[in-house]
Chains A and B, each alone.
Chain A
């Protein structure tokens, strides 16, 4: 009796397993290496179903920092990269890993900080001055520290503020090596400043005491570009389907959807595929 129960249980477990074999693979899909900001802001959840409905191509998004996303593509594990760090993207092209870079959209970065505002920078428009004040007051600052687009933007801002980061960095400057959301969680918990893309910031649900302290400076501009991985370097790249995704992103339809993605009444991303210099 007991033995029969045992055998039955084991057998039904195996049957259940077999029944639910996923409808995985075999379908048409491409792999896109992208950034945590596009995923954490919810943009992809809004865009991808429309693209899939139109073309029958499923898009699998690996969300990483920009640097890591480009590395994933270099190893041949992605068909398309969709990131936001122009210098790194151009290097990627130059090394022959990308076919062509298309500007897609921009959003901007915001400096986020606690209500107590220990560096006294709230309400300012000059990000360089704000960064300078943070460094001088040694106010806690959380850095992504993960070679992401946001991280490289942050490093450029320190330079623009005339701060020699390696020389002044101390306990107040905390590199956590994680994505945007994790960084915001950390800043909230540590009562610290950080730099975030606006999209992730708006979508972020655990704001706590944090608020925007500096925004609107031109230096905070954040451009996204998309590239097909070069099939001459990586023969497994799905050229047609990957290009179809890129074409759709920069098409009037894709651009309109990007412009239409809102959280509450706020637009997060601004399409600018028509600006060749972006």
Chain B
């Protein structure tokens, strides 16, 4: 039923993003590995969100390339990835209609849409909210809806920008559980976070950004036990402010 061949890994080469003469991103090379949990760390203003958006194709880079290993049409590439934004975009409709809309945009037929929406809501504990206007949900519920909505598209690759920011510990926990489910399903996850606890528990790979540059890319265990760069060391010791 589903195309199981993956597009990944995603290879980023010589990526530069400049605006008004300022270099916002400078990434000579980065790899997003298949089925890995990639966590992007770095202080505020390090370019983490921008890197996600650029990889997802929302922000065109000034130069450089972002390529999937198995080249496909642009539309195919688009369909196999999804993104959850820091402030989740809630359509002014019911929770169910939010799912239906995303599925419609992905070209899913009407009957299928209903079925997938119902299934996904059940899977992520959103069924009781199905007919509520999405915008009256709490922050945690909105974030769960946003992630479940992205998940309903069955992407190979899912970008998440600060999925647990401004959530209470319970809500954060629920989000983490959802991410675990997606990981088990085989989805490649790329997320930014300020929550070092989440990063330690969850990450397979860490990409550490500082001042728009990808400073360190390494196995999570090694990053936390033996960071290779002074910036990363400083960051982990909460000494890196700028």
In the complex, A touching B (Cβ < 8 A): yes
Type the 1/0 row for B133-171, where 1 means its CB is closer than 8 Å to any CB of A: 100000000000000000000000000000000000000
- Residue of A whose beta carbon sits closest to that of B94: A3
On chain B, the residues within 8 Å of A2 by CB distance are: 133
Interface band, chain B: under 10
Type the 1/0 row for A236-275, where 1 means its CB is closer than 8 Å to any CB of B: 0000000000000000000000000000000000000000
Report Cα–Cα, A1/B96, bound state, in Å.
Answer: 13
CB-CB contacts below 8 Å: A20-75 with B: none
Type the 1/0 row for A1-15, where 1 means its CB is closer than 8 Å to any CB of B: 111000000000000
On chain A, the residues within 8 Å of B131 by CB distance are: 1
Type the 1/0 row for B118-136, where 1 means its CB is closer than 8 Å to any CB of A: 0000000000000101000
- Residue of A whose beta carbon sits closest to that of B97: A3
Q: How many A-B residue pairs have CB under 8 A?
A: 4
- Number of A residues with CB within 8 Å of any CB on chain B: 3
CB-CB contacts below 8 Å: B89-133 with A: 93-94, 131, 133
Type the 1/0 row for A145-171, where 1 means its CB is closer than 8 Å to any CB of B: 000000000000000000000000000
Report Cα–Cα, A3/B91, bound state, in Å.
Answer: 14
Closest beta carbon of chain A to B18's beta carbon, Å: 46
Report Cα–Cα, A2/B97, bound state, in Å.
Answer: 13
On chain B, the residues within 8 Å of A3 by CB distance are: 93-94
On chain B, the residues within 8 Å of A1 by CB distance are: 131
Closest beta carbon of chain B to A33's beta carbon, Å: 53
On chain A, the residues within 8 Å of B93 by CB distance are: 3
Closest beta carbon of chain B to A165's beta carbon, Å: 67
On chain A, the residues within 8 Å of B94 by CB distance are: 3
CB-CB contacts below 8 Å: B167-225 with A: none
Report Cα–Cα, A3/B94, bound state, in Å.
Answer: 9
Report Cα–Cα, A92/B94, bound state, in Å.
Answer: 69
Q: Which residues of A contact B (CB under 8 A)?
A: 1-3
Q: List 4 A-B contacts (CB under 8 A).
A: A1-B131, A2-B133, A3-B93, A3-B94
